[in-house]
């Protein structure tokens, strides 16, 4: 689905940012005027223009907060957080030593943190104990009654951040009576940027501490915990569910069977292109970003090392260890993992369902970007059937 740009990567990321309009994470006019100032494939302009929009909207939020207009402040700060996230997205030449990347990431976190106390429903910042350190989390609650409720444990994937989870899953869950415990793990958000924690294939080592914490929370119904992983998180959550059996249901959003394949495809393209990887990067925004973000999030100095490392990220031989009911989501136009959700589904031996989101219903993009209402309707209606309220 082309959206505002011919460049496939820019189109997708613009749609991603705009899609959060559904839950007050963007305003369409702001997205349009920002994107029209960005030339095709110009990553510097992308960062500059999104950062300028974010700063302008944050200013509205800060002024509103100072004047006691809490709803206006919340709305602006939520949008600013999303826009700062977008501004940082392509700054991947050396993000560990890029002051502007660090500033944008911090601004996205802070804008959301300042909006959280202003939400209509409680949002509590938590820390998940993890291997001698902690992982940042938010507990989003339906209300302040303290009543135990079905709870979603949620994490993102290759590039999402904790603050994005509010728009991607939490609002839709809260409206349906589900609490949400969302967190960033190794290779993601603050654990990557501030603690130097890189991705690991044995994601059960990350989810199990989150489940441990959830079980100590009075607002969590211990028998009705669902795990949802987004994008690359569709592999991570599947891997975790194969070994962590206190989970009552799992949603792979979308299903990922073999993370190595898309990375190997970029390497193969480089091998067959005159000029090699440098030539591929120079003319393909998406491939360039995958290479650079891969080196950072996996902690590797070369893309060849990343390609090798991703071989460990596969559901082969472990899919049948998932015992809880599992929903596998698929997207007709998925540009990253085409065909993989079906492969995961075919190997599942538990209670299972596969839902294909189509282009002709406006939901065919990877992770149903731009179709949040349809994604949430189908996902939570399924959860309602397997985790009875």
Q: Which residues are annotated as catalytic?
A: 231
Euclidean distance between CA atoms 210 and 232, whole angstroms:
18
Number of Cα atoms under 13 Å in the Cβ half of residue 188? 29
Euclidean distance between CA atoms 90 and 77, whole angstroms:
22
Euclidean distance between CA atoms 355 and 160, whole angstroms:
23
Contacting residues for 6 by C-beta, under 8 A, at least 6 apart:
40
DSSP string, 104-165: HHHHHHHHHHHHGGGSSS-EEEEEEEETTEEEEEEEE-S-SS---EEEEEEE--SS--GGGH
Categorise residue 358: left if φ over 0, alpha if ψ from -120 to 50, beta otherwise: beta
Euclidean distance between CA atoms 347 and 155, whole angstroms:
23
């Amino acid at each position: 689905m082309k959206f505002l740009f011919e460049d496939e990567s820019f189109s997708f990321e613009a749609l991603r940012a705009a899609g959060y309009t559904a839950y007050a994470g963007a305003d369409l006019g702001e997205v349009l005027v920002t994107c029209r100032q960005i030339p095709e494939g110009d990553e510097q302009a992308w960062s500059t223009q999104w950062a300028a929009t974010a700063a302008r909207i944050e200013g509205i939020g800060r002024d509103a907060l100072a004047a006691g207009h809490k709803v206006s402040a919340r709305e602006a700060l939520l949008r600013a957080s999303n826009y700062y996230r977008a501004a940082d997205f392509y700054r991947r030449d050396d993000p560990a030593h890029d002051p502007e990347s660090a500033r944008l990431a911090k601004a996205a976190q802070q804008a959301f943190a300042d909006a959280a106390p202003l939400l209509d429903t409680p949002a509590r910042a938590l820390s998940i104990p993890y291997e001698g350190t902690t992982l940042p989390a938010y507990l989003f609650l339906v209300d302040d009654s303290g009543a135990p409720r079905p709870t979603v444990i949620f994490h993102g994937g290759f590039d999402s951040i904790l603050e994005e989870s509010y728009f991607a899953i939490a609002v839709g869950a809260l409206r349906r009576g589900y609490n949400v415990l969302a967190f960033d793990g190794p290779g993601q958000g603050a654990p990557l940027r501030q603690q130097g924690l890189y991705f690991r294939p044995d994601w059960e080592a990350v989810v199990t501490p989150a489940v441990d914490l959830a079980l100590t929370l009075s607002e969590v119904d211990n028998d009705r915990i669902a795990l949802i992983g987004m994008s690359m998180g569709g592999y991570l959550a599947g891997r975790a569910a194969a070994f962590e059996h206190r989970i009552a249901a799992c949603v792979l959003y979308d299903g990922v069977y073999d993370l190595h394949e898309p990375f190997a495809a970029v390497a193969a393209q480089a091998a067959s292109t005159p000029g090699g990887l440098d030539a591929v990067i120079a003319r393909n925004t998406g491939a360039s970003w995958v290479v650079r973000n891969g080196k950072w999030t996996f902690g590797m100095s070369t893309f060849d090392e990343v390609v090798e490392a991703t071989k460990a990220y596969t559901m082969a031989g472990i899919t049948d260890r998932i015992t809880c009911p599992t929903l596998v989501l698929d997207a007709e136009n998925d540009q990253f993992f085409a065909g993989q959700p079906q492969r995961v589904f075919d190997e599942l031996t538990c209670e299972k369902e596969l839902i294909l989101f189509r282009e002709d219903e406006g939901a065919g993009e990877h992770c149903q970007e731009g179709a949040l209402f349809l994604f949430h309707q189908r996902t939570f209606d399924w959860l309602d059937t397997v985790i009875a309220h």
